[in-house]
Structure 1
Amino acid sequence: MSRHRGALAVALLAVLVAALGVYLYLKATPYQTEIDHGPSPEARANPYLAAELFLRKQGLSVGHANGLDILPSLDPHQHSLLLLGDRYNMSPRQIDQVMNWTRAGGRLLFVAESLWDEKLGQSNDLLLDRVELRQSLSKDLKQPPPNVGEDPYPQLTKLYLEDEDAPAYAGFDTAFHLEDPKNLAQAWANSAGATHMMQLNSGLGSIIVVTDADLWKTPAIEQYDNAWLLWYLTADTRVTLIFNTDHDSLPTLLLRYFPQALVALFALIGLGFWHFGIRQGPLLEPAPKARRQLQEHLRASADFLLRRNGQAGLLQALQQDILRRVRHRHPGFEQLGVAEQWLVLARLTGQPTRAISQAMSPRPKQRLSSVEFSRQVAHLQFLRNAL
């Protein structure tokens, strides 16, 4: 009967599962969706990846580098060099190399990175000072450009081209303004309140200075005419983007060429701190040069054995020594019974059997007092000496 009920329950459960499956199949509606996993590792590592892909799509040869070490291998003829990374540590020698490359026919584009300091008569951007342009804040301009109120897109930068009715619009940061105190610029682009791009000649080449390059990063490059402007500035050239123009610092050079000297220096500094450091606690008195007495050695050895083996171990060692001596004096001693062994010991040592029994019986595991332990040791030593 129980087997029949079990089979019925299994069948009922299978029917319920099948019914649930059919219900879900009829109600479920398949659909497709796109899951955004964010930018790829390449896009996170290269903020100008979209700009590179766009220029390649226009038929330009595009590459990028992390420093100016690649400059000697770049032919300046029909070549654009875009310095889009930080240049605060750019050395004068590197600036000379870039300027010579540009004068030989290259096209240089870089971002102005520092404001002009009237008191010092310079900025912290050596390359910007070399081309004799200045950068300031748009809010510090004394007089706004004319027709500001008539501009329908005051926040966008306009680039006017010949034979074009409407300008191209770019999304430069309008917080900064470029100045040309010596009227060297051949072309420029303005927003309603400031100038954000200038172009000037340099030997056989040309220089383009912009207030920022964020408009060519992802996703800003797809806005307005930002992508077109980048293509326009680099058209008919091979393009090299450089994100990092920092020269090696002194610590980096020392670590590269003198690692052993640095290790020795740090070790010497550590030893100096250790030698002159403040001691915690009084100084230890030097150990006396006199040799220790034999009694001190014996006491130290006894203390060590007591700590290591305990009282029972020391007493057992004395008892074994007594038994070894009595076996030597009385052959066949080990074959006697315990009572007969006590009688032999009493006869050889002159002690009563009761005292022999107390001394040679196994000791309990509990620890003896110092007085009892000393008395027991003295008694055993007396028996051993008497043999």
Structure 2
Amino acid sequence: MTAKRILIGACILTCAALVGLFLTFYERYTEERDLGFGPEARRNPFLAAEQYLADIGLLPRQADNISVLQGLSPNTTLYISSSSQVYNSTKAEALINWVEQGGHAIVVAYTGDFDSDAERGENRDWLLEELDVSIEEGHGHFELEETLEQLLGEDAVLTPEQSPADAMREHNRQIDERESEADAKTEPEEEEKPRNPSVDPEDLVTLPTDNGDEIQLYLNASHLLYHPAFDDSNITDGPVFYAKVWRDDTAVPFMQFERGSGVITLLTDATLWQSRRIGHFDHAYFLQLLAGGDEFVFLTRPRFDSLPQLARQYGAEFFIAGALALLAWLLLHGRRFGPLQPAPEVTRRSLLEHISACGHYYWQDDQCEALLRGYRGELLRRLAATDLSATQKHNLCDKLSASTGLDERVLVATLWGKPPSTEESFTEHMRNLQRIEAVL
């Protein structure tokens, strides 16, 4: 047995021993962590309500404009998250006509922040005007309590004397104590958190049901609804049902109107059925009681993702597309065939260089013979020597020799000789023709 086989066998035995030890001492551990709402729940605050209605047999869906009324059947429940979405008298009249045919509209009255009554009057609420309903200030402690509960959790117990900073410090101290107690125990006991927030029973609204039971609601009473029928019993088109938070209130957070065969339910609490509050008290059951028919439409304002959310959602695609575009650009500008060409000259050449370059081009292109033939024919025409005998040519050469100083043989070769075959002879012929032309 060689040393190599011994080494391989030892490695196999070691791996088998490690696997056996892992399987012997391995213990599965499961831990649940609450990471909060997912992306879909953050985009749709009524996701829990939609799932609840779907479980009880209804067909929930979303809409973002009051024009959805044109396609709704009377056997439908329409939830309008803000009465400001009924933005003119025509839409308010259309909504009431649809309710009179048998529809059920659940409308949250718009209680936006206005600096003065004049500003509130400029922003008219057409639906509330049709129902002769006005908005009044209510109890202002709900918002602080709800915000702290959202931050600290449902098990936070808040007192009116505590400031938000004191409540946060107290909550952190309780968390540290629970963690210390859990570390001291060998088997920590799981404590079930209460489903409902800790509120004063006087702040709860109790409503009767058809089967004789009662339901409890925790409504935001920072703004309340008022109708003149509360003080005048002679008004016949007032609300048929309403509920007060406290007995001495002159306005209510919830009321219902009958119009024709349908019902209009008015609320001042826009978060009652949102995902973070629908599980409190009997809010979900209250929604089930109000929902009738086969379809439930949530008419909410359009919600768009913020820039950081879009960046997280499409960041990978953006960088991949950018990397591919950069790679394509590098491939486009990085490819070449053959050696690099010299850089072109940017300076202009002189006139003599231009003439020299043209002459070399004509010579290489065999065009100099035609140039010489045309120049020679023009001189012979001017000398009237196109058709001369030998004696006449001799006499003409004598005259030209006397005036130009050229030899007679040179004159004969220039005027009637063969075309030159070299650059030097061509240049000499052209110079002689120019001397002859100069004496004419």
Provide TM-score, normalisation by structure 2.
0.49
**Counterpart-to-counterpart distance in 2, 1:33 and 1:157:** 39
Of all paired residues, the percent bearing the same amino acid is 21
Q: Which stretch of the first structure deviates more once superposed, 120-129 or 214-223?
A: 120-129
Distance 1:386 1:320 in 2: 25
What is the letter of the counterpart of residue 245 of structure 2? S
Larger relative contact order (Cα-Cα within 8 Å, sequence gap ≥ 6): 2
Indicate conservation of the 8 Å contact 1:95/1:127, yes or no: yes
Aligned residue identity for 1:223 = H
Question: What's the TM-score once normalised by structure 1's chain length?
Answer: 0.54
Q: CA deviation at 1:171?
A: 3.1
**1:102–1:206: 8 Å Cα contact kept in structure 2?**
yes
- Asked if the contact 2:78/2:106 (under 8 Å) is kept, the reply is yes
- For residue 90 of structure 1, what is the amino acid of its counterpart? Y
Instruction: Give the counterpart of 2:90 among 79, 90, 93.
Output: 93
1:120-158 C-alpha deviation (Å, 9 max, x unpaired): 884532111211111233258xxxxxxxxxx94244333
Corresponding position of 1:49: 47
Aligned partners of 2:77 and 2:295 also within 8 Å: yes
Match of 1:173 in 2: 220
Partner of 2:138: 138
Q: Contact (CA 8 Å) 1:106, 1:204: kept in 2 or not? A: yes
User: Aligned residue for 2:150?
Assistant: none
Which range is displaced more, 315-324 or 185-194? 315-324
Q: What amino acid is aligned across from residue 157 of structure 1 in structure 2?
A: V
Aligned equivalent of 1:27, options 22, 25, 28: 25
Separation (CA, whole Å) in 1 of partners of 2:2 and 2:62: 78
Aligned length: 277
SS in 1 for 2:239: coil
The answer on 1:191 being equivalent to 2:191 is: no
State the partner residue of 2:56.
Answer: 58
How many Å separate the matches in 1 of 2:419 and 2:6? 88
- In the alignment, the residues of structure 2 paired with residue 56 and residue 332 of structure 1 have an alpha-carbon distance, to the nearest angstrom, of 106
Deviation, structure 1 residue 178: 1.6
Cα offset, 1:111, TM superposition = 0.6
With over 3 angstroms needed to count, the CA separation of the structure-2 counterparts of 1:26 and 1:385, relative to structure 1, is: farther
Task: Give the 3 Å change call, closer, same or farther, for CA 319–213 of structure 1 in structure 2.
Answer: closer
Question: 1:202 maps to which residue?
Answer: 259
SS at match of 1:216: coil
Where do 5+ consecutive residues of structure 1 fail to align? 141-150, 247-303, 335-340, 351-380
Q: SS state of the match for residue 213, structure 1?
A: coil
1:156 matched to 2:154 = no
| CA–CA distance in structure 2, aligned partners of residues 154 and 309 of structure 1 | 105
Unaligned runs of 5+ in 2: 141-198, 231-237, 303-344, 373-412
User: Which of residues 273, 287, 296 in structure 2 aligns to 1:216?
Assistant: 273
Q: Report the alpha carbon displacement of residue 162 of structure 1 after superposing the two structures with TM.
A: 7.7
Contact 2:82 2:110 in 1 (8 A): no
How much is the aligned-residue C-alpha RMSD, in angstroms?
Answer: 4.8
Residue type of the partner of 1:108? A
Paired letter, 1:189: A
Helix, strand or coil at the partner of 1:217: coil
The structure with the larger Rg is: 2
Q: 1:296-341 CA deviation, whole Å, 9 max, x = no partner?
A: xxxxxxxx9974999978645435657865998897976xxxxxx7
Does the 8 Å CA contact 1:158/1:169 hold for their aligned counterparts?
Answer: yes
